[in-house]
Amino acid sequence: MITMKKTIGTIALATTLIFNVSCKDVNKEESMTESSDMQQEAMNDGGDMAMNDNQTANAKIVLNDYFNLKDALVGDDNAKAKELGATLMNSLKSFDASSYSDSQQTELKDIMVDAVEHAEHISESPIEHQREHFKILSKDVTDMVAITGTDMKLYEQFCPMYDGGSAWLSMNEEVRNPYYGSSMLKCGKVQREIN
């Protein structure tokens, strides 16, 4: 089931890339509804979104650390991003998946191993390299949310300009681009709402 979700998400992302050519036209692009709907269905599939308090706490810790890291990248703060990358790495390592189904535990373990590696790179790298790893880390965190769900309203945002198109999660609807920071702060758009 998770593999199908990833496939649908990949197809939807590819469709998004085709429709978005530049940030100049980003607000004119309304033909994304179908691919966004497909991704939302993947995120909301069945009982995957049901959470107990322990699951909610685990996911919240990771998400809060992820959002703090995102904000440091938005602010072009390499030193703070290094520190927050290490913090996120520790919360990812501490993530307890024991209350999930066996298949979800397997998926979460794979996600966490990959995410830890990218958070570790962020904790040791110059800002350009941090942003490269943040792109993949964002996909990992989005995949985690697809399994764990969230009680927070999140916005998946997308910048067509960075590395062939890159997405990230935000708690705020207003776009603040972590891939370009102050040089292209508002480049991107809300691709979909989660929850």
Q: List, for residues 142-151, the tens digit of each pLDDT value.
A: 999 999 999 8
Give 64's strand partners: none
Looking at the DSSP bridge assignments, the partners of residue 168 are 157
Judged by phi (left if over 0) then psi (alpha if -120 to 50, else beta), residue 163 lies in left
Residue 4 has pLDDT above 50, yes or no: no
Is the Cβ–Cβ distance between 157 and 32 less than 8 Å? Answer: no
Q: State how far the Cα of 94 lies from the Cα of 60, in Å rounded to an integer.
A: 12
Sheet holding 154-159, edge to edge: 166-170, 154-159, 189-194
pLDDT digit string, tens, across residues 150-173: 989 999 999 999 999 999 999 999
Rounded to an integer, what is the distance from CA 8 to the centroid of its chain?
Answer: 16
pLDDT digits (tens, 9 = 90+) for 43-99: 444 344 444 566 678 899 999 999 999 999 999 999 999 999 999 999 999 999 999
Tokens of 90: 């520790």
Q: What was the pLDDT predicted at 29?
A: 38
Of 96, 88, 93, whose CA–CA distance to 52 is shortest?
Answer: 96
pLDDT at 182 over 90: yes
Q: Which tens digit of pLDDT belongs to each residue from 100-153?
A: 999 999 999 999 999 999 999 999 999 999 999 999 999 999 999 999 999 899
Position 119, amino acid: A
Residue 39's pLDDT is 38
Would the pLDDT of 190 be above 90?
yes
**How far apart, in Å, do the first and last CA atoms of the chain sit?**
20
pTM: 0.74
pLDDT tens digits for 10-35? Answer: 444 443 333 343 444 443 333 333 33
Q: Is the pLDDT assigned to residue 40 strictly greater than 90?
A: no
Total residues found in the chain within this entry: 195
